[in-house]
Structure 1
């Protein structure tokens, strides 16, 4: 049950949910191939800049994902709250 997982500190959606689509897998493979190509063509200093760029993009993506998660979770709670209010109103009528 999700509440038990949350209470016991075992709820880590950012660590346990991994995209499993073929498009995601292709993008990961393509990214790895591009990084290999860049490592062969660029100087060590330039390649270090590319690695730093990837790291900073990953940080930005994680922050964006967290924002999307919070917004989606909040929206879900609002939908549930609205549905409950509507059902309560119907029951009063």
Structure 2
């Protein structure tokens, strides 16, 4: 049950939800190949910059995902609230 998982500290959507689409998997493979090519072509200093760019980009994407999660969750609650209000109006008539 979701409430038990939240209470017990076992609810980690950012860690448990991983895309499985072919496009996502292909993009990861492509990124890995590109990083391998860059590691061979660039100096150690330049490659370190690329790795730092990748790290910072991942942090930014994580922050963006968190915002989307919060907004989506909030929107879902608003939809639920509105649905309950509509049912009440129908039942009151």
Fold shared, TM-score > 0.5 on shorter chain: yes
Counterpart for residue 88 of structure 2: 88
- Aligned twin of 2:27: 27
TM-score, normalised on structure 2? 0.99
1:61 is displaced (CA, Å) by 0.1
Other-structure match for 2:47: 47
Q: How many positions carry a matched residue from both structures?
A: 93
Query: Comparing both chains, which one has the higher relative contact order based on Cα–Cα distances under 8 Å and sequence gaps of 6 or more?
Result: 2
Q: Supply the distance in 1 between the matched residues of 2:76 and 2:19 (Cα, whole angstroms).
A: 21
- 2:85 and 2:20 mapped to 1: Cα distance? 37
Distance 1:3 1:88 in 2: 26
Query: What is the root-mean-square deviation of aligned Cα atoms in Å?
Result: 0.4
Give the ranges of 4+ consecutive aligned residues of structure 1 lying more than 6 Å apart after TM superposition. Answer: none
Structure 2: give runs of 5+ residues left out of the alignment.
none
